[in-house]
């Protein structure tokens, strides 16, 4: 059974192949790319799934009927999906922060909640470090981000309300049970911090720049009108 977070509706759902697998071609090394359309059980929209097969694999070169498509994909799995799902688009993120946040979101959507919390923590830590905040534990770093005007007081209170933020796991205690609720809260806190630290100042600067350009254009137009 194939399941993933849908790139359209964002729900973690079962995907059913539609039609038979399409063999897209074989490269010089003999690697074969196989594709298929898949319907999301939640929203019904169609995604494209693909995987690569190499000579020697049982499914390599085999002809698969439409009735056997689900069994075929259950055997080989799907390596790539279109559209993908790496989380909400947040503008102006540094590459390292963007990669870490996408890993946190993917882990959460896949139901790997311990990894989601650890990667969300890593993302927040990287955000603090990017702004020269390196001392103290994660809660202290979030407090420092507030003091430096990077985040809002409401965000700091939200962080305080999420007890421990996975501190035990961060120190190697992997016996701590992580449920969906905790993982969701930590990932959402991560997204909130990223928007406030990176995206909102970027959007404000863009708005200010456009407003300034309109002001300059208006002054120029007025001067031109006087001259004529």
132-170 pLDDT tens trace: 999 888 989 999 999 999 999 999 999 988 866 666 565
Residues 6+ apart with CB under 8 A from 39: 15, 16, 18, 45, 46
Compute the chain's Rg from CA coordinates: 24
Chain-wide mean pLDDT for the chain?
A: 84
Angle of helix 95-109 versus helix 180-194 axis, rounded to 10: 160
Q: Is the pTM of this model over 0.75?
A: no
Q: How does pLDDT run across 177-199, given as a tens digit for each residue?
A: 788 888 889 999 999 999 999 99
Q: How far is residue 195 from each of residues 49, 62, 161, 204, measured CA to CA in Å?
A: 31, 48, 19, 12
Check residue 180 and give its pLDDT.
86
- Per-residue pLDDT at 68: 75
Tokens of 28: 């010089």
| DSSP letters spanning the chain | -EEEE-TTT--EEEEEEEEEEEEEEE-TT--EEEEEEEEETTT--EEEEEEEE-TTSTTTT----GGGHHHHHHHH--SEEES-------TT--HHHHHHHHHHHHHHHTT-HHHHHHHHHHHHHHHHHHTT--SS-HHHHHHHHHHTTSS-HHHHHHHHHSSGGGHHHHTT-TTS---HHHHHHHHHHHHHHHIIIIIHHHHHHHHHHHHHHHHHHHHHHHHHHHH-
Percent residues over pLDDT 70 in the chain: 88
Residue 75 has pLDDT above 90, yes or no: no
User: What integer is the mean pLDDT of 62-79?
Assistant: 77
For 101-127, write each residue's pLDDT tens digit: 989 988 887 888 889 999 999 999 999
Tell me the per-residue pLDDT of 24-40, one tens digit each, with 9 for 90 and over.
777 777 888 889 999 99
Can you give the residue ranges of every domain in the chain?
Answer: 2-82, 95-207
């Amino acid at each position: 059974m194939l399941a993933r977070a849908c790139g359209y509706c964002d729900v973690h759902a079962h995907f059913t192949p539609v039609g038979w697998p399409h063999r897209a071609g074989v490269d010089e090394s003999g690697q074969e790319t196989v594709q298929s359309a898949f319907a999301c059980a939640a929203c019904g929209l169609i995604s494209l799934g693909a995987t690569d097969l190499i000579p020697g694999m049982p499914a390599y070169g085999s002809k698969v009927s439409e009735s056997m498509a689900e069994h075929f994909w259950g055997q080989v799995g799907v390596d790539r999906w279109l559209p993908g799902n790496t989380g909400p688009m947040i503008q102006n993120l540094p590459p390292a922060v963007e990669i870490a946040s996408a890993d946190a979101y993917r882990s959460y959507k896949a139901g790997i909640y311990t990894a989601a919390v650890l990667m969300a923590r890593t993302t927040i830590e990287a955000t603090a470090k990017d702004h020269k905040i390196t001392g103290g534990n994660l809660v202290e770093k979030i407090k420092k981000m507030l003091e430096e005007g990077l985040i809002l007081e409401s965000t700091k209170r939200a962080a305080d309300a999420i007890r421990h933020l996975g501190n035990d796991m961060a120190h190697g205690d992997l016996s701590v049970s992580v449920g969906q609720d905790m993982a969701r809260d930590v990932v959402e806190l991560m997204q909130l911090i990223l928007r406030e630290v990176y995206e909102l100042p970027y959007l404000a600067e863009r708005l200010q720049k456009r407003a300034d350009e309109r002001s300059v254009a208006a002054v120029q137009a007025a001067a031109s009108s006087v001259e004529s």
